[in-house]
Amino acid sequence: MAGQLNLVLLGKQGAGKGTQSTRLAERFQLAHISTGDILRAAVKAGSPLGLEVKAVMDAGGLVSDELVIRLVEERYQAPDAARGGLLDGFPRTLAQAEALEALLGENGVKLCVNLEVPIDLVTQRLSSRRVCQNCGTNYRDSDESAISGVCAKCGGHVVQRSDDRPEAIRQRLEFYERDTEPLLDFYAARGLLVSVNGDQSPDEVTSDIVAAMHERGLA
């Protein structure tokens, strides 16, 4: 997929990947490729892949690398991905990173940004997060939509996700350390890794990412 701008955002759950991906996708006219959004959309649409995903999720299983990779490949066929994409939540494993490289080509990923945020802060962020079950919009527990339980964007039901509770957060962070942190070495070895302090305002984080892109001639 020559000529595309593809950026990978890594970071612990709650580091701000979704916020930054949305901002950067809009700024550079790229697709925001979020595996969470893709999975929800596929299930909702009832596509053949979506039905496979639903069967796995209904059985309480984990969606396999193979299924996620097929969904990402399908997502890249959408018109808004013609210029490239902001990859949020993918890859999560070395196998997924290698599959992404095979899909996009060796020079397909132009930059990998690691958002560095202390564990106590991401735990606090996740614990206070509330999410619309319909459109996926995030709120803080102090926001009016979180208090009322009604999404200001679409009118959907705003809830605390089960995996945003303390025990689940600890487990998710353990999975991240085991499965995803090795990707830092994967992208560092390719000269693509840049670390950004995620413990700043969203505007400051965006500014630092764009500065890193400028340094590499990507913005």
- Residue ranges of the domains in the chain? 5-118+181-215
- Please pick, among 27, 40, 110, 172, the residue that the annotation labels catalytic: 172
Catalytic residue flag (residue 129): yes
Please indicate, yes or no, whether the overall pTM of this predicted structure exceeds 0.85: no
Residue 29 and residue 163: Cα distance in Å, rounded?
Answer: 31
pLDDT at position 106: 81
Catalytic residue flag (residue 165): no
pLDDT at position 177: 85
Length of the chain as a residue count:
219
- Please pick, among 40, 54, 129, 190, the residue that the annotation labels catalytic: 129
pLDDT at position 1: 58
pLDDT at position 145: 94
- Please pick, among 140, 161, 178, 216, the residue that the annotation labels catalytic: 161
189: which 2 tokens?
A: 């070895």
Own/partner long-range contacts of 100-104 (Cβ < 8 Å, ≥24 apart): 100/8, 100/69, 100/72, 103/1, 103/69, 103/72, 103/73, 103/76, 104/1, 104/4, 104/6
pLDDT less than 70: residues of the chain: 1-2, 60-61
Catalytic residue flag (residue 92): yes
- Please pick, among 27, 92, 110, 190, the residue that the annotation labels catalytic: 92
- Please pick, among 12, 17, 23, 75, the residue that the annotation labels catalytic: 17
Q: What is the second-level CATH architecture of the domain 5-118+181-215?
A: 3-Layer(aba) Sandwich (3.40)
